[in-house]
């Protein structure tokens, strides 16, 4: 490889390679929360200069997957258990509102898109690949959000879904290991049915129960693996 080609790679596609690899490792929990991301070490790992590595870290920071500390070190973003009740409260509101709107406003094309995304999620569940499962789960819910025709609520919802993907991996792991509950597929079918029937109240109730199931299994995972002092916080139990 010539110096010119290497320079082009470092300034062009190089950052994307680093970004994609690190993003996958962070979301799949292969790279643990709090892990130090040293630019020099990463440069050596990928065979690139520090510039594309820095660009990748900036983009990951924009997704709140990494954070820069006061001493300018960069680490994988911690999963903040203390703020989890607030996170799940926001997720609940966004999930319910988008699902309600979808039940009211969906078209036949929307129903086909939601059903297609659900089939993709079911295939991912059979594969056992948690990263693909979390991505297809997100795409299922975003198909619902798009059917709701409110881009502001959909954008807010997408950001919350992205922020929760590492927690969803823990949720999947807990369900697979304990066999307590199920991997969301039954709830997805019920949500799709309520949207198809234009049953707004039923869609709202199912979306709320969906959030509650995720919350409870994540909390149980954390209690089992990390601490006995996890608080559920405040979460309204009725629709």
Average pLDDT (197-226) is 88
Which domains does the chain possess?
A: 3-76 (1.10.10.10), 81-225 (1.20.120.530)
Average pLDDT (19-23) is 96
Greatest alpha-carbon span in the chain: 64
What are the pLDDT digits (tens) for 218-233? 887 777 776 544 444 4
Residue 73 has pLDDT above 50, yes or no: yes
pTM: 0.80
What are the pLDDT digits (tens) for 127-185? 988 889 999 999 999 999 999 999 999 999 999 999 898 888 877 777 777 665 555 66
Q: How many other C-beta atoms lie within 10 A of the C-beta of residue 84?
A: 20
């Amino acid at each position: 490889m010539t110096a010119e080609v290497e320079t082009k790679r470092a300034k062009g596609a190089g950052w994307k390679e680093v970004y994609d690899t690190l993003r996958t490792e962070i979301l799949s929990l292969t790279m643990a929360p709090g892990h130090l991301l040293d630019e020099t070490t990463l440069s050596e790992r990928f065979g690139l200069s520090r510039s594309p590595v820095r660009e990748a870290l900036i983009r990951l920071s924009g997704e709140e997957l990494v954070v820069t500390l006061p001493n300018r070190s960069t680490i994988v973003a911690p999963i903040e258990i203390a703020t989890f009740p607030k996170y799940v409260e926001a997720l609940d509101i966004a999930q319910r509102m988008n699902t309600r709107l979808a039940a009211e406003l969906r078209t036949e094309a929307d129903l086909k898109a939601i059903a297609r995304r659900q089939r993709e999620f079911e295939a991912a569940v059979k594969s056992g690949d948690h990263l693909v499962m979390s991505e297809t789960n997100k795409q299922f819910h975003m198909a619902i959000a798009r059917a709701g025709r409110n881009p502001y609520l959909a954008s807010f919802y997408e950001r919350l879904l992205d922020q929760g993907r590492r927690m969803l991996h823990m949720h999947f792991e807990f369900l697979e290991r304990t066999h307590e509950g199920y991997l969301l597929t039954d709830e997805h079918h019920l949500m799709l049915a309520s949207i198809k029937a234009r049953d707004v109240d039923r869609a709202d109730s199912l979306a709320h129960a969906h959030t509650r199931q995720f919350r409870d299994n994540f909390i149980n995972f954390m209690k089992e693996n990390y601490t006995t002092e996890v608080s559920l916080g405040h979460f309204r139990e009725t629709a």
